[in-house]
Structure 1
Amino acid sequence: MKFFIAGLILLVGCVVAVPTDVSLVTAERASKPKCKGTATYKITFRYQWTRARHPDAYPSSAHFSPLVAASHSPGYCMWKPYGFATRGVEDVAETGSTFRIDGELDEHLGRNVYDFAVDNVVTSDGSETVSVTIDVDGKRSLVSAISMIAPSPDWITGFYNIDVCDQTTGVFMKSLTGKLGAWDAGTEDGTNFSISNSATDPTEQIEDILQSVFGGRRLGSYRIRKL
């Protein structure tokens, strides 16, 4: 992937390069109503990475690493396109290890992070369903999640910075759904389903690889449901 720096800025905890298609958090958001109290959400990933759906991109040992999800404020960023992976995200992307990202989340807990959870289950293939449950509050109503696409050099799936608080009404949303894409974390070289590769030096931006690797076919779907 290409690497460029055009005036690095710090944005909600992630270093990103400009230009970017990720919306900035503005004063307009801060002036809108905030949800009151707390809410509990179940986050479910329904994986659909199969040989039938992805005949040219399905290794024999295909699986996903333990799912990690967190609720947080704009002051924390787990990951985002055009951002640069933290050491914790790097470990998830390259090995599926959650030890370091757990530490990063724990460091922010009580401040920018309200809650986080790890599923601790490595799927047996690419077509299972996994879930975690997390709490949110009005100030920390953004939700992000991540899992390794395995085996791979440093590829991930998940979502980032989804606000479960309706900033117009000030009410926690009942349910949100979306599709699971694929991103290269920019930390390890390699273009196929291998895990023994050289480190990318310097580290590159997180980049969408759904089209280039998976032919544009999504890896599944997610649902964020209020309990």
Structure 2
Amino acid sequence: MKTKLLLVLLITSNFIFTQSRAIYNITFESTWNSSDHGTLPGNAHWSDLVGATHNSNITFLEMGEMATKGIEDVAEIGNNFEFNSEVLDAINDGNADQWIQRSVNPFAAIATATINNLEIDEDYPLLTLASMIAPSPDWMIAVSNVNLRDGNNWINMMTIDLFPYDAGTENGFGYSTSNTATNPQSVISNIANVAGYPFNSNKIGTLTIELQNVLNVNTFQNENLISIYPNPSEDFISISRANSLRINAVEIYDVLGKLVYKTNDSKDKIDISHLNNGIYMTKFFIENKTIIIKRIIKN
């Protein structure tokens, strides 16, 4: 399916263009087993599958480079707090679009995780995901900067074989978490079929990415048609609109893509005091089936 990149209308010197958003289902399936990857511990399992959609201005993890604190915590202890903070900082800077987190079930070596109806904007077409191979010193699976766009088209389907990676932050060659820190810190590396590690050359899982739908949404290029203030805000945001622009509906989504507020009333002020502190995406539905998207920060 091709996205339309032509200008479709001119209103009061402001262009409208067709912005493409795609809906994907993403499935992780583990193939972690004793025949290929050494004798597994009795509590073998995976941490949550976590990551982000983002643009090319940021890379959250890269093979051959040192892990951030967030990736270190994911790989060593399956803790996502620091990585989540790194993604939220990137969202605040305009380089990421959303935080992704799904549980991997069951609590076992062979397990799955499914991310259904993940909405991806063409301005943030890159996908990064990671999950801890647990228990382990600092081993994980990961994909980084996977581009879901092929020129002006969305990728229809993609299957990625997953292999074990060492985050380069903790010593150890067995399935345990009680190890000394790697000093100095090393780089992220592929440890499939590497001497000393329990993995052979076979994959440890598969990530399948399938396109479900493409949404061609009219969006105003001139974002000054609507402004919101104060931003950040603790309780209320006020809406200023150009040329008596009519707002038909407003929707607010959290970074997980969950709808947390909706109104069909044309309001000049919205109460956000009930929302948790964080970053939200606000969609303003206006004339001609047009959407203006703004980010707001709740303090």
The equivalent of 2:32 in structure 1 is: 49
Deviation digits for residues 85-107 of structure 1 (CA, Å, limit 9, x no counterpart): 11110100000011111111111
Quick check: 1:65–1:123 contact (8 Å CA) kept in 2? no
What corresponds to 1:153 in structure 2?
Answer: 137
Deviation digits for residues 40-91 of structure 1, max 9, x if unmatched?
A: 222211001122443x242222111100131111111121110111111010
Deviation at 1:172, TM superposition (A): 0.9
SS state of the match for residue 109, structure 1? helix
Instruction: Measure, in 2, the Cα distance between the counterparts of 1:122 and 1:203.
Output: 32
Pairwise CA distance, 1:184: 0.4
Q: Specify the alignment match of 1:216 in structure 2.
A: 201
**CA distance, structure 2, for counterparts of residue 121 and residue 163 of structure 1:** 23
> Pick from 82, 97, 103: which aligns with 2:79?
97
Paired position in structure 1 for 2:128 = 144
- 1:124 Cα deviation after fit: 1.1
TM-score normalised over the length of structure 2: 0.60
Which of structures 1 and 2 has the bigger CA Rg? 2
RMSD over aligned Cα atoms: 1.7
Structure 1 partner of 2:163: 181
Q: Quick one: which amino acid aligns to residue 210 of structure 2?
A: R
State yes or no: 1:82 paired with 2:64. yes
One-letter code aligned to 1:51:
S
CA contact (8 A) 2:75 2:139 kept: yes
TM-score of the pair, normalised by structure 1: 0.78
Whole-angstrom CA distance in 2 between matches of 1:73 and 1:148: 24
- What is the identity percentage for the equivalent residue pairs of Structure 1 and Structure 2? 32
Greater relative contact order (CA < 8 Å, ≥ 6 in sequence): 1
Which structure: greater strand fraction? 2
- Equivalent of residue 200 in structure 1, options 163, 172, 182: 182
Q: 1:71 aligns with which of 48, 53, 61?
A: 53
Q: How many residues are paired up? A: 190
- Please give the alpha-carbon distance, in whole angstroms, between the structure 2 residues aligned to 1:58 and 1:108: 37
Q: Contact (CA 8 Å) 1:114, 1:135: kept in 2 or not?
A: no
Cα separation, 2, equivalents of 1:126 and 1:73:
32
SS at the partner of 2:75? helix
Q: CA separation in 2, counterparts of 1:208 and 1:123?
A: 26
- Which amino acid in 2 is paired with 1:180? L
Conservation of the 8 A alpha-carbon contact between 1:164 and 1:172: yes
Q: Equivalents in 2 of 1:223, 1:116: separation in Å?
A: 19
Instruction: Look up the match of 1:172.
Output: 154
Cα separation, 1, equivalents of 2:201 and 2:65 = 21
Distance 1:132 1:76 in 2: 22
Matched, 1:131 2:149: no
- Cα 1:141/1:150, change in 2 over 3 Å: same
Structure 2: where are the runs of 5+ without partners? 1-17, 213-299
